[in-house]
Amino acid sequence: LMVGCSSGGNTAAPAAGEGGSGQAASADGQEIQAKIGVVGFLSGSGAAYGEAQKAGLELALGELNEANKGKLKIELKFEDSAGEKEGAINAVNKLINQDNVVAIIGPTLSGEMFAAGPVANEAETPIFGISNTSEGINDIGEYVFRNSLPESIAIPTAMKAAVEKNGLKKVALIHASNDDFSVNGYKVMKATAEKLGLEITGEATFANGDVDFSAQLTKLKQTNPDALFVSALYKEGSMVVKKARELGFAGTILGGNGFNNPKVFEIAGPAAEGLIVATPFSPEKKDDKVQAFVKAFEAKYNKKPDQFAAQAYDSLYIMSQSLIAAGKADREELRGQLAQLKDFTGVSGKLSFDEKRNPIGDAVVVVAKEGKFVPFE
Ligand code: 1QQ
């Protein structure tokens, strides 16, 4: 039985009760109407992250609303934060207070989540990060969740593989100093280098928005490292990779989660060749669920999904499952169901949470080869 319409309200507000206006729980057999907010980096220097997330969410939305007919209907309300903390805070406030959403997916950047997560947490509204990989995201509060694999797991996996296969001994580090994600990734790189007994020959920083990295890279190259470890978002990160190759650096280049987007190949061009990254998702994975997703994504968008699309896609399946289990679009009930999530298998792998709601999962290591990432083996 179908009730309500996509533009209708939802039952997140305590006042919006059962029945009446067609906003109802499934306990009485009616379709649950759930409005979920999405905060994404949809414009600006990292817009390809937000676009991938939007694409993944919209694909999942179509599939879920079809499959859950009569049980649950999800409506998504997208807000563009432009990758800014202020933008993320405003979007979260609007979604909670004006749109009355039952939960929020996003924001894209760890820094945005550090700024906007507390707002949602204070308002007792579940907020679900799909690309926040920094340490400490879950410490914001008990309404904060994420399915994005922390860099503290992903980076060491990539570094160990690179050290083993490429015989690295001396490394140089470079990172964006005004971005929480990039700073966190750098700290993980440094700590892991020390743990693995690597010699750090030099370190350098830049700021998001910079376009000239020659001074830093010339200096780092002179320290003669076997590898350059780059912690950055795709735009600056790809320009760093390109410049390093232009300056003649021939060693290994390894990056963090920011590089898991095809824009890297557009910006760095052939200089991307050999770049090593860890990711929880690869469209090349020989797995039925993954391949069905890749096929559906390609049919809809005419390109392969990246990790950001995959984690976004998974997040809506998690929301759907949890809303149905909750039996109504209620923030508190939904939080409870999300916290109980165990062994969810999505396209970005198997997911369960530890006691701090941190995702437990594995990363695969990939390497850039002829315009795409392939398994590093
Ligand atoms: C974070 C990230 C970025 C690469 C997301 C786009 O992992 O900010 O945590």
Confidence check: pLDDT of 32 > 80: yes
Closest ligand 1 atom, residue 129 Cα: 9
Q: Is the CB of 311 under 6 A from ligand 1?
A: no
- Looking at the structure, tell me whether residues 157 and 234 fall in a common domain: yes
Please give the mean pLDDT across all residues of the chain.
92
* Within a domain: 377: no
Q: Looking at residues 129-149, what average pLDDT do you find?
A: 96
- pLDDT surpassing 50 at residue 23: no
Query: Which tens digits make up the pLDDT trace of 250-280?
Result: 999 999 999 999 999 999 999 999 999 999 8
Atom index in ligand 1 nearest the CA of residue 46 equals 6
**Residue 14 pLDDT more than 70?**
no
Specify the CATH number for the domain of residue 160.
3.40.50.2300
Quick one: what percent of the chain has pLDDT higher than 70?
93
> 349 or 291, which is more confident?
291
Give the model confidence (pLDDT) of 280-321 as tens digits. Answer: 898 988 999 999 999 999 999 999 999 999 999 999 999 999
Q: Is residue 163 part of a domain?
A: yes
Give the pLDDT band of residue 352 (cuts 50, 70, 90). confident
Ligand 1 centroid to Cα of residue 109, in Å, is 5
Is the CA virtual torsion 72, 78, 84, 89 positive or negative? Answer: negative
Residue 16: pLDDT over 50: no
Out of 45, 53, 84, 132, mutate this one to test ligand 1's pocket (max ligand atoms within 8 Å of CB): namely 132
Whether 58 and 105 map to the same domain: the answer is: yes
Whether the per-residue pLDDT at 198 is higher than 90: the answer is: yes
The pLDDT-based confidence of 20 (bands split at 50, 70, 90) is: very low
11: confidence class by pLDDT, cuts 50, 70, 90: very low
Is residue 17 in some structural domain? no
* Number of separate domains in the chain: 2
For residue 343, name the pLDDT band (cuts at 50, 70, 90): confident
Residue 19 has pLDDT above 60, yes or no: no
What value does the mean pLDDT take over residues 353-371? 88
pLDDT score of 27: 57
ipTM: 0.99
Look at residues 279, 299, 327 and tell me which one is the last residue of a structural domain. Answer: 279
Q: 307 in ligand 1 pocket by Cβ < 6 Å?
A: no
Is residue 45 domain-shared with residue 126, that is, in the same domain?
A: yes
Statement to judge: residues 58 and 138 lie in one domain = yes
Report which ligand 1 atom has the smallest distance to the Cα of 260: 4
